[in-house]
Structure 1
Amino acid sequence: MSQLTADCLNEIFEYLANEKFTLHSCVLVNRLWCEVSVRILWRDVWNYSTLNFSTLVACLPIESKGILCENGIKITTPTSKLPIFNYASFCKVLSIGEVYNKLELLLANQEFVISRNLRMINLNITAQVIINLFIDQITTLKKLEISRYSQFLTWQKLDTSFIFFSKAKDCLKNLSELRCTSDLSPEFLFRLSQISNNISQLHINVENYISNGLTDLISAQKNLKYSNIAIYNNMKVDIISSLLNELPNTLTKLNLYGRDNNVSLLFISKLINLQELQLVLRYSEWFKNFEILQNIIFPQLQILKFVNACPKYELLIKFLENNGKNLKEIYFCEYSGYSDNSLNLAIANFCPKLRKLSIGFKNDELETLEIIFNSCQHLESIKIWCGRLYLNDKEALESVMKYSRNIHEILLDYRDEVHSRILPEELENIFASNMSQRSFSLVVISNINITKSLDKDDENMKIIEEHIKLGIIKRFKITSYDDVDFDPYL
């Protein structure tokens, strides 16, 4: 095993990228294993501990250490000698805010009681020399995040002068992903637009104001594929539009979040290469210009998500008539819980290639669910809302087993309490009606206030465990909207 090449080991160890303990064990095997493991362990600054940053201090050149010393900044390092690896050069994912956050913790453990102002000065000095080290040593940075960091319960803007460091051009020329706020300095954004022209993923939090250089940065991109825009401030529609209108038609994925009624959706009409569209708006009235979008053809659109509200149903139905034939995934009103039978019937009518679906069916719309199963023959995964207003879990499971052909993932989303609990004998009969004995995954989304969900009955859980052992249920999970790692698109 020790004779494996570095490339081969790297390919194997990539599967352990999230297994830090295992990778640390690999470090101890031999030098080759150590080199390959260390590169992965030091690749993402989000995985760094304060110990990692004290090691980086040991890697600083003499000049930088002198700057710290001159300012009375003393940081204990793991070794007084130069470390055996150039750790900073392994970084491919750099968050400037996370650098500040971790250094603040590191300095807090090193310093005696000093004034708040001096702590901020020391932090800024230390951050500058560490960021300079990264920029100087990284040959190709892939992901960069520049956002505020929290200090003393207030949000601080970051120093972005690193863009003018001598090695910044080499470091950032192949940047593929950028996360930033809209109010970065125009000088920084203009310089970045000259260096980085192949960003494929761009995430922007619109806060306070939109810097003049941001549109320049967007227009300079030649290969932008995915953009995530979160608008937090109530700016004028024309100001927001000036930013959104710069998004190129090379986009294949767009996520747009708007906190206020100030976003015109007209810019989407030119993004004809979209494959995935997600809009997070609070009310249907906020979908400005959707009456125009309803008539636009997006020939490659496959995934459609409206997380809170939907556009007015008559407009959305027309949109599905024009664009539903290639849709593979639909998620409507995940958090608001709105549902409409005419919209559900339109999905059955216009979306024959669907593979994943999450919508609500009211308690008198069981027939509509059956129509969808008959019309959408490729459907593989469905999330069904359960509760007083919606179908109960017994009806939902029975319908899936009886009418669906290819469903292999069932998500029961308990929006509120169901009228009655599934009895164990009923659950046994439902599973027995699975004549093809197909295997499927079952996910229960509930919370502590729901007392009659499927997972709250011990006998039902025993039946589920039996079917897991038989291989009928290949995966079973209980989760909640309150879980830290909850994904509404499970």
Structure 2
Amino acid sequence: MARQLPAECLNEILEYLEDDKLTLHSCLLVNRLWCKISVRIMWRDIWNFKRFYQQRPLRVATSILSTLIACLSNESKELLNRNEIFILTPTSKSPLFNYAAFCKVLSINEINRIVKNVLRNIPADINSLNDKNNLIANEVIKMFTSQISSLKKLTYYHNRFYHLNISFPYFPGARDLSELCCASNLPTNFFYQLSQICHNLQSIFIEFHNNDVSNELKELISLQNNLKTLALSAFDGSWANIIPTITKHSHTITKLQLYGDNEELPLSFVRLFSNLQEFIFSFYDGTGFEDFKMLQYVHFSKLQVLKIPYQCPRPQYIMKFLENNGKNLKKYYTDENDNALSLSVAKFCPNLKSLFVIFSNGEIDILKKIFISCQYLESIKIWCGEKFLTEKEVLETVASHSPNNFCELRIYNSSNSNISSKDLESFFINWKNRASEKLLSLVIIEDYYANLLTDYENMDIIEKYENLGIVKLTTIGYEKEKIDDDLDYYY
């Protein structure tokens, strides 16, 4: 007779499949115990379904919504019927599980998006359709707020593409909320409701619109006991009005992210964040970043991550900043292409583990100096192409000069790739003969001209050395890589 794994043990095993929804879905069919545990894990964050059902989002959206409709109270179902809203449910009987109670992540925008996608083919005028969308979304949200006993993450943004008219109810399950992603122009009662019960947020992400900062939003931020991560985004407004409020948490915040589209957004207040460990800032029109002039002299003794995607302050400002803070940096990313700034990385950042700077054509010696000076370096991202280093010289330098801990090379080619299969195999042979014998993670960032992976001879070489355990190949689209790797900011 086969023995059953203890539930606690099985739960711990299946937890490892949280991000592998396709495999987790197959576990539903094993037996009742596997099904119960798998369902709880899958519905913890049901909104990320696009990661594993990329080709059929409408089908999945319909499945999710019909399941949620089946879980609604009889009162809510009758309300939908009275308004001539009829959505088929998986079964006429009560659902096997109370799915809403399993959710730890709630996205108001995804609820609205799912409803809108499912109802988009229903013949109706735009006003009537919006009314139906809002009615369904409100009833679903009402169910979540009554059933979730402990919410961990809440996302609620104003979205111009999806009409939102949500009456956000009292939500006792948000007492344990640790992450909030929202827009500043939401109804003030939303912030008021949260401020009454939610005082332990660890992370807050705010998108600012039209300088609209309510007192209720300020109060919500002020009442947090131990805020660690703060991200502010302003592309049609300013978060300057909220600076006095957020600086109250300057001693607890360790991760700060600032995004904007003009140079008027202030940066000098960052000097107050004495325990900062990670600093990311990005501005699309910051031609001078004069406000950064003050920061270049500030010493952040705990700073380990510095990312400056898109436009960068003047190189001399960053060089001085690295002189004061580079010793403790573990990760440094910038889109800036400056010879002196790249050399300052080798001079001031000896403990880096991950790096992205842009090298121009003819600057291969700077890459060599960085490898020699940064002996803890494990990963580097490099642009190749007509104006930049060639793939051949990058591979040769990585094989001959990278430190023993090095194990990841990320390549983006801005023009037509011209690496030959002979050069590629030579690189793998040299890598194989290195004393460290580390598996190399080769990440190819794909763009229109990046034909390295469409060359059959090159792919045969890569496959050969993958089978030998020398290299592991990963491909990623340029836009996705830009979002995931450079910005680390999500809605």
TM-score by length of 1: 0.88
- Read off the aligned partner of 1:340 and give its amino acid letter: D
Per the alignment, residue 44 of structure 1 pairs with 45
- Post-superposition offset of 1:244: 5.3
- Post-superposition offset of 1:187: 2.5
Per the alignment, residue 193 of structure 1 pairs with 195
Residues 50-89 of structure 1 correspond to what in structure 2 (within 5 A)?
50-89=62-101
Once residues 415 and 249 of structure 2 are traced to their aligned partners in structure 1, the CA distance between those partners, rounded to angstroms, is 40
Of the three residues 207, 220, 228, the one matched with 1:225 is 228
Q: Sort the Cα spacing of 1:350 and 1:104 in 2 relative to 1 into closer, same or farther, 3 A.
A: same
Per the alignment, residue 408 of structure 1 pairs with 407
Per the alignment, residue 30 of structure 2 pairs with 29
The SS at the match of 1:362 is coil
- Post-superposition offset of 1:468: 2.2
Once residues 81 and 424 of structure 1 are traced to their aligned partners in structure 2, the CA distance between those partners, rounded to angstroms, is 61
Once residues 25 and 445 of structure 1 are traced to their aligned partners in structure 2, the CA distance between those partners, rounded to angstroms, is 31
1:183-207 residue CA offsets vs partner (Å, 9 max, x unmatched): 1122321221121111111111112
Once residues 395 and 114 of structure 1 are traced to their aligned partners in structure 2, the CA distance between those partners, rounded to angstroms, is 61
Per the alignment, residue 281 of structure 2 pairs with 279
Per the alignment, residue 263 of structure 2 pairs with 261
Per the alignment, residue 120 of structure 1 pairs with 130
Q: Sort the Cα spacing of 1:263 and 1:444 in 2 relative to 1 into closer, same or farther, 3 A.
A: same
Q: Sort the Cα spacing of 1:478 and 1:189 in 2 relative to 1 into closer, same or farther, 3 A.
A: closer
Q: Sort the Cα spacing of 1:313 and 1:122 in 2 relative to 1 into closer, same or farther, 3 A.
A: same
TM-score by length of 2: 0.88
Q: Sort the Cα spacing of 1:428 and 1:49 in 2 relative to 1 into closer, same or farther, 3 A.
A: closer
- Post-superposition offset of 1:224: 1.5
Q: Sort the Cα spacing of 1:350 and 1:116 in 2 relative to 1 into closer, same or farther, 3 A.
A: same
1:450-470 residue CA offsets vs partner (Å, 9 max, x unmatched): 56xx44544333333332222
Once residues 104 and 401 of structure 1 are traced to their aligned partners in structure 2, the CA distance between those partners, rounded to angstroms, is 52
The SS at the match of 2:478 is coil
Is the CA contact (8 Å cut-off) linking 1:234 and 1:260 kept in structure 2?
no
Per the alignment, residue 91 of structure 1 pairs with 103
Per the alignment, residue 135 of structure 1 pairs with 145
Per the alignment, residue 157 of structure 2 pairs with 147
Structure 1's unaligned 5+ residue stretches are: none
Once residues 102 and 2 of structure 1 are traced to their aligned partners in structure 2, the CA distance between those partners, rounded to angstroms, is 42
Per the alignment, residue 370 of structure 2 pairs with 372
1:77-111 residue CA offsets vs partner (Å, 9 max, x unmatched): 222332232221111111112112222334456x5
Per the alignment, residue 215 of structure 2 pairs with 212
- Post-superposition offset of 1:412: 2.3
Residues 309-348 of structure 1 correspond to what in structure 2 (within 5 A)?
309-333=311-335, 338-348=336-346
Per the alignment, residue 382 of structure 1 pairs with 380
- Read off the aligned partner of 1:413 and give its amino acid letter: Y
The SS at the match of 2:303 is coil
- Post-superposition offset of 1:217: 1.4
Once residues 456 and 66 of structure 1 are traced to their aligned partners in structure 2, the CA distance between those partners, rounded to angstroms, is 56
Once residues 340 and 21 of structure 1 are traced to their aligned partners in structure 2, the CA distance between those partners, rounded to angstroms, is 45
The SS at the match of 1:123 is helix
- Read off the aligned partner of 2:150 and give its amino acid letter: T
Q: Sort the Cα spacing of 1:404 and 1:133 in 2 relative to 1 into closer, same or farther, 3 A.
A: same
Q: Sort the Cα spacing of 1:431 and 1:290 in 2 relative to 1 into closer, same or farther, 3 A.
A: same
Structure 2's unaligned 5+ residue stretches are: 50-59
* Percent identical: 42
Per the alignment, residue 168 of structure 2 pairs with 161
Once residues 246 and 31 of structure 1 are traced to their aligned partners in structure 2, the CA distance between those partners, rounded to angstroms, is 50
1:365-405 residue CA offsets vs partner (Å, 9 max, x unmatched): 22222111111111111122212222212221111212222
Residues 168-187 of structure 1 correspond to what in structure 2 (within 5 A)?
168-169=171-172, 171-187=173-189
Once residues 25 and 292 of structure 1 are traced to their aligned partners in structure 2, the CA distance between those partners, rounded to angstroms, is 56
1:101 and 2:113 aligned = yes
The SS at the match of 1:161 is coil
- Read off the aligned partner of 1:216 and give its amino acid letter: E
| Count of residues in correspondence between the two structures | 470
CA RMSD of aligned residues (A): 2.6
- Post-superposition offset of 1:416: 3.0
Per the alignment, residue 392 of structure 1 pairs with 390
1:307 and 2:340 aligned = no
Of the three residues 458, 461, 472, the one matched with 1:460 is 458
The SS at the match of 2:287 is helix
The SS at the match of 1:371 is helix
Is 433-442 or 344-353 further displaced after alignment? 433-442
Q: Sort the Cα spacing of 1:302 and 1:60 in 2 relative to 1 into closer, same or farther, 3 A.
A: same
The SS at the match of 2:236 is coil
Is the CA contact (8 Å cut-off) linking 1:64 and 1:129 kept in structure 2?
yes
1:403-431 residue CA offsets vs partner (Å, 9 max, x unmatched): 2222211222213346xx34444444444
Once residues 3 and 61 of structure 2 are traced to their aligned partners in structure 1, the CA distance between those partners, rounded to angstroms, is 29
The SS at the match of 1:269 is helix
Q: Sort the Cα spacing of 1:470 and 1:55 in 2 relative to 1 into closer, same or farther, 3 A.
A: closer
Is the CA contact (8 Å cut-off) linking 1:265 and 1:289 kept in structure 2?
yes
Is the CA contact (8 Å cut-off) linking 1:383 and 1:410 kept in structure 2?
yes
- Read off the aligned partner of 1:195 and give its amino acid letter: I
Per the alignment, residue 12 of structure 2 pairs with 11
The SS at the match of 2:11 is helix
Is the CA contact (8 Å cut-off) linking 1:149 and 1:158 kept in structure 2?
no
Once residues 448 and 74 of structure 2 are traced to their aligned partners in structure 1, the CA distance between those partners, rounded to angstroms, is 57
The SS at the match of 2:403 is coil
- Post-superposition offset of 1:149: 4.6
Once residues 128 and 212 of structure 1 are traced to their aligned partners in structure 2, the CA distance between those partners, rounded to angstroms, is 25
- Read off the aligned partner of 2:128 and give its amino acid letter: L
Is the CA contact (8 Å cut-off) linking 1:330 and 1:356 kept in structure 2?
yes
Is the CA contact (8 Å cut-off) linking 1:201 and 1:225 kept in structure 2?
yes
Is the CA contact (8 Å cut-off) linking 1:307 and 1:332 kept in structure 2?
yes
1:316-353 residue CA offsets vs partner (Å, 9 max, x unmatched): 111001100010111111xxxx3111111111111110
- Post-superposition offset of 1:482: 4.5
Is the CA contact (8 Å cut-off) linking 2:44 and 2:102 kept in structure 1?
yes
Once residues 353 and 190 of structure 1 are traced to their aligned partners in structure 2, the CA distance between those partners, rounded to angstroms, is 45
Per the alignment, residue 55 of structure 2 pairs with none
Is the CA contact (8 Å cut-off) linking 2:288 and 2:314 kept in structure 1?
no
- Post-superposition offset of 1:242: 5.1
Per the alignment, residue 351 of structure 1 pairs with 349
Q: Sort the Cα spacing of 1:57 and 1:361 in 2 relative to 1 into closer, same or farther, 3 A.
A: closer
Once residues 270 and 93 of structure 1 are traced to their aligned partners in structure 2, the CA distance between those partners, rounded to angstroms, is 32
- Post-superposition offset of 1:305: 0.6
Is the CA contact (8 Å cut-off) linking 1:249 and 1:272 kept in structure 2?
yes
